[in-house]
Amino acid sequence: MSLATKVELKAETIKPKIGSRVLNAKEELLSGEIAGELRDLLEARGVLVFPKIDFTDDEQVAFTKTLGTFAPERPGDPEVISKITLDVKENPSSAEYLKGSLYWHIDGTRNGVPILASLLSCKIPSPKGTGNTGFANTYSAYDDLPDEKKAEIEDLRVVHGPWASLFYYEPEPSLAKLEGYAQVGEQELPLVWKHKSGRKSLVIGCTAAEVVGKSALESAKIIHGLRDWATGPDFTYSHEWEAGDLVIWDNTGTMHRAEPYDPTCGRMMHRTKLEGEEPFA
């Protein structure tokens, strides 16, 4: 008679304040035995990298479900992956909208409960030296702020809307395009998210339009100043993709962005997501 062997998490630190590399085999991940440990590590580290794990789409969906509740792209959608690319031939409906992903952001700032995490796998990387994905740990960035800065921003609120990201890549959009983006909605959010865990993170990025009660210039200084701080070298990690890689990031305490690449190069990512479990507060 053979005894079952308990699966142990195998992980190594990428940088002191962000990122861990998970080295478990595909079968160990799909078993779900270390799902709880992976969730804890994700919250602690912000980003988990699974080098060349080579999940099929069905395996990625199955792995996503071990970690929480699978989040469809839109209500009623089947449990399928989403193709993430700027190539209009492959992604005609949202390639234009995805241009905003080239700038630091948190997903779901127009929603009361943002997604918990995204899982992105690389099917076709862009040419070496382009198309990395950058991540910034906004938990660690908040923790390391001087106490006087924390007190200054503690109770500030910010209006977020996807329309604000449009101006990053198209400074003079037509009124029709601006109105189209505005239809997606906006909402007022805390600048400092006080999580039920007791930790705090910054809610910033390219969807941040203005700080409530501040002038346009004052708002810009606060929003962009904190972005500069949070995207400094201590809090960031840039992942250079290879085919088969999978990366998970904690959307509640990590900003991300796609780094520039040629939209016609064929770069293709497949994404799944985890339903949010905590409202902005």
pLDDT digits (tens, 9 = 90+) for 158-176: 999 999 999 999 999 999 9
Secondary structure of residue 184 in the 3-state scheme: coil
141-161 tens-digit pLDDT: 999 999 999 999 999 999 999
Mean pLDDT of the chain: 93
For every residue of 219-238, DSSP letters joined together read: HHHHHHHHHHHHTSTTTEEE
Classify residue 127 as exposed, middle or buried by CB count within 10 Å of its CB (0-12, 13-18, 19+).
exposed
Secondary structure of residue 256 in the 3-state scheme: strand
Q: Compute the distance between CA of residue 97 and CA of residue 90 in angstroms, rounded to an integer.
A: 14
Tokens of 71: 């989040």
Tokens of 97: 């909208």
Closest CA to 281 of 218, 184, 199: 199
Angle at 126 between CA 236 and CA 237, to 5 degrees: 10
How much of the chain, in percent, has pLDDT values that exceed 90?
84
Q: Compute the distance between CA of residue 172 and CA of residue 70 in angstroms, rounded to an integer.
A: 38
Residue 26 has pLDDT above 60, yes or no: yes
Residue 5 has pLDDT above 80, yes or no: no
Whole-number pLDDT of residue 2: 47
What's the pLDDT band for 1 if we cut at 50, 70, 90? very low
Closest CA to 46 of 235, 281, 244, 191: 235
What's the pLDDT band for 229 if we cut at 50, 70, 90? very high
Whole-number pLDDT of residue 88: 77
Whole-number pLDDT of residue 75: 73
Check the CA dihedral 30-31-37-39 and report its sign.
positive
- Select the more confidently predicted residue: 5 or 38: 38
Q: Compute the distance between CA of residue 145 and CA of residue 121 in angstroms, rounded to an integer.
A: 33
User: Mean pLDDT lowest for which of 95-99, 118-122, 231-235?
Assistant: 95-99
69-87 tens-digit pLDDT: 999 877 777 778 898 888 8
Q: Where are the alpha helices (DSSP H) in 144-257?
A: 147-153, 162-169, 175-182, 216-230
Domain 11-274 has CATH 3.60.130.10: yes
Pairing mode, strands 47-50 and 18-22: parallel
Q: Compute the distance between CA of residue 265 and CA of residue 126 in angstroms, rounded to an integer.
A: 6
Residue 4 has pLDDT above 90, yes or no: no
Q: Compute the distance between CA of residue 150 and CA of residue 164 in angstroms, rounded to an integer.
A: 25
Tokens of 107: 């997903």
Residue 94 has pLDDT above 70, yes or no: no
Whole-number pLDDT of residue 93: 60
Tokens of 59: 């395996």
CA 281 to chain centre: 18
Residue 100 has pLDDT above 90, yes or no: no
